[in-house]
């Protein structure tokens, strides 16, 4: 099971980034989506 | 618009640069300990994102701990010098100081190693850094970042951002705040980022693509060469910028070497990197499978013979069979474009001058390898090859303490080694005269 909590680290603070936008992260061993990657928008 | 990561990095730099080397050593040493202690969990994340075997992933994490410790120590050795003056009463001091806030753009093939080298070198030198890891391997970067933060790195000294590479790199590089760009990526991306960096004359380190020739001379120890090259070729499914990618074999040992390579390649265990016994995992994305098919078809169309593999595996995931192409002509696409996959293209040669010319025929110049038991051949060919790193009878060309980087269109500058620290330092000359 994929365990890492994906967050941005900006100025000492971990967060989910801007506007709730994310992109999918796939496990190449089976092609399944395992997480959503947050986006930095300034 | 000035992004908040830039503001944070700028503010953090102003205080971090005033810390002592001993203080930075302490924090980096703690970060190294945390990376080592969390090796198993980070390696698992890495394998799930990248596909490489847990054994390879664990080795990469251990490298990260070693490199961080090495930079912790090297922080103490950012020596300057005193130059004898040409007139009495003057002292000429040459000092090294941190270049400024840095930007690090990392690749997915060594998601922990790439990120760690950039963070550790920047922090050791007294720089803050904003890292943009690959969106294909974000969790590994987050896990490494947590180790540095938990070790006591102050707010803003390390920042990690994700998102579409083009707008992020354009915004960050356009800002006057960062004074350094370090990229591990492809040659086209390197050219693009260098153009962006030129607007504000930022210093760059460009660790870009390669297409490593490997030359097997007639006097080579073939069995040992096969042991080394099988492991190296299929490491991370061939998705390594130093992977041996163009095999030139002396005509008198060609058949024996190719047969041995095919036989051993056929035994490589392909599977999920989390499974025990897996030696080679999947490729990073489905798109890479199409590229592999294209390289094989093009080579065969031009006269190469398929000796092994050449197809995607019929299972879930992005698996491609270990593949050996023989009698590959020099004009085949795979002899010009970095395959970044588990394909070994092979061709024979007859003379030293001929094989050096063919090895040096591409614009790339990252890694090159030769296998010989002749010291003169080693010395002469090692010097003649256009490459930033050369391996003789082995392929381990990147350690924490050795400079690693390419020449020509494989980039410039180095990571690791004392050169890796120097990449984040600038030189200042202070001429003092007694008042």
Question: Which of B85, B98, B94, B83 is CA-nearest to residue B20?
Answer: B98
Q: What is the pLDDT of residue A16?
A: 87
Across the interface, of B1, B5, B316, the residue whose CB is closest to A10 is B5
Residues 6+ apart with CB under 8 A from B7: A11, B177
Distance from CA of A8 to the nearest CA of B (A): 5
| Region A9-25 average pLDDT | 88
**Residue B434 pLDDT level (bands cut at 50, 70, 90):** confident
User: Would you call B63 helix, strand, or coil by DSSP?
Assistant: helix
Q: Estimate the crossing angle of helix B39-50 against helix B54-74, to 10 degrees.
A: 120
**Nearest-Cα residue of chain B relative to residue A25:** B136
Model pTM? 0.97
Distance CA B259, CA B262 (A): 5
Residues of B in contact with A33 (CB under 8 A): none
| Region B238-260 average pLDDT | 98
From residue B375, give the alpha-carbon distance in Å to each of B161, B247, B257, B370, B432.
48, 21, 21, 11, 51
Is the Cα torsion angle B275, B279, B285, B291 positive or negative in sign? negative
Give chain B's mean pLDDT: 97
Whether the per-residue pLDDT at B109 is higher than 50: the answer is yes
ipTM score: 0.96
Q: What is the DSSP string of B256-307?
A: HHHHHHHHHHTTPPBS-TTSTT--B---SSHHHHHHHHHHHHHHHHTT-EEE
| Region B358-364 average pLDDT | 98
Distance from CA of A26 to the nearest CA of B (A): 7
CB B112 within 8 A of CB B64: yes
- Which residue's structure tokens are 């080394």? B228
- Best residue in A32, A40, A41 to probe B by mutation, most B CBs within 10 Å? A40
Whether the per-residue pLDDT at B91 is higher than 80: the answer is yes
CA dihedral B396, B398, B402, B406 (to 10 degrees): 120
> In this structure, what DSSP letter does residue B156 have?
T
Digit-coded pLDDT (tens) for B201-216: 999 999 999 999 999 9
Q: What is the pLDDT of residue B2?
A: 57
Q: In chain B, which among 37-56 make CB contacts under 8 A with chain A? A: 41, 44-45, 48-51
Q: What is the pLDDT of residue B1?
A: 46
Across the interface, of B3, B9, B284, the residue whose CB is closest to A28 is B284
Digit-coded pLDDT (tens) for B160-215: 999 999 999 999 999 999 999 999 999 999 999 999 999 999 999 999 999 999 99
Distance from CA of B398 to the nearest CA of A (A): 26
CB contact under 8 A, B139 and A17: no
> In this structure, what DSSP letter does residue B186 have?
-
Residues 6+ apart with CB under 8 A from B188: none
Q: What is the pLDDT of residue A17?
A: 79
Residues 6+ apart with CB under 8 A from B34: B147, B150, B151
Residues of A in contact with B136 (CB under 8 A): 25
Digit-coded pLDDT (tens) for B288-326: 999 999 999 999 999 999 999 999 999 999 999 999 999
Question: Which of B19, B78, B171, B66 is CA-nearest to residue B424?
Answer: B78
Q: What is the pLDDT of residue A40?
A: 87
Digit-coded pLDDT (tens) for B19-33: 999 999 999 999 999
Residues 6+ apart with CB under 8 A from B59: none
Lay out the sheet containing A13-15: strands in order across.
A13-15, A8-10, B158-160, B129-132, B102-105, B180-184, B203-207, B411-412
């Amino acid at each position: 099971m994929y365990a890492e909590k994906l967050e941005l680290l900006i100025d000492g603070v971990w967060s989910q980034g801007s506007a709730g936008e994310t992109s999918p992260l796939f496990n190449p061993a089976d092609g399944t989506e395992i997480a959503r990657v947050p986006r930095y928008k300034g | 618009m000035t992004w908040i990561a830039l503001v944070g990095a700028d503010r953090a730099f102003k205080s971090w640069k005033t810390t002592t080397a001993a203080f930075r050593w302490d924090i980096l040493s703690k970060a190294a300990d945390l990376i080592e202690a969390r090796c198993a969990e980070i390696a698992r994340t890495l394998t799930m994102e990248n596909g490489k075997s847990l054994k390879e992933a664990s080795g990469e994490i251990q490298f990260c701990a070693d490199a961080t410790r090495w930079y912790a120590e090297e922080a103490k050795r950012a020596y300057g010098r005193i130059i004898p003056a040409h007139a009495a009463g003057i002292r000429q001091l040459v000092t090294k100081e941190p270049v400024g806030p840095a930007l690090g753009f990392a690749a997915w093939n060594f998601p922990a190693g790439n990120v760690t080298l950039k963070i550790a070198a920047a922090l050791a030198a007294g720089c803050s850094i904003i890292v943009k890891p690959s969106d294909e391997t974000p969790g590994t970067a987050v896990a490494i970042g947590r180790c540095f933060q938990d070790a006591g790195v102050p707010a803003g000294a390390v920042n990690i951002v994700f998102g579409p590479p083009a707008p992020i790199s354009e915004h960050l590089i356009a800002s006057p705040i960062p004074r350094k760009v370090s990229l591990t990526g492809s040659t086209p991306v390197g050219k693009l980022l260098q153009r962006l960096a030129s607007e504000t004359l930022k210093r760059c380190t460009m660790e870009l693509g390669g297409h490593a020739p490997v030359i097997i001379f007639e006097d080579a120890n073939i069995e040992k060469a096969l042991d080394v090259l099988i492991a190296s070729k299929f490491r991370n499914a061939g998705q390594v910028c130093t992977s041996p990618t163009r095999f030139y074999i002396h005509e008198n040992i060609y058949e024996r070497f190719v047969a041995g390579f095919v036989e051993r390649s056929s035994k490589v265990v392909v599977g999920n990197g989390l499974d025990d016994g897996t030696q080679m995992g999947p490729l990073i994305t489905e798109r890479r499978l199409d590229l592999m098919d294209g390289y094989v078809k093009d080579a065969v169309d031009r006269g190469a013979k398929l000796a092994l593999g050449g197809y995607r595996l019929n299972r879930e995931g992005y698996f491609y069979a270990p593949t050996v192409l023989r009698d590959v002509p020099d004009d085949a696409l795979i002899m010009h474009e970095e395959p970044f996959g588990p394909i070994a293209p092979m061709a024979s040669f007859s003379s030293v001058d001929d094989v050096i010319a063919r090895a040096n025929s591409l614009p790339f110049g990252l890694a090159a390898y030769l296998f010989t038991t002749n010291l003169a051949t080693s010395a002469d060919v090692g010097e003649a090859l256009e490459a930033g790193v050369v391996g003789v009878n082995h392929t381990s060309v990147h350690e924490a303490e050795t400079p690693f980087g390419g020449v020509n269109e494989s980039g410039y500058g180095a990571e690791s080694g004392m050169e890796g620290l120097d990449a984040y330092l600038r030189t200042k000359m202070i001429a003092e005269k007694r008042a």
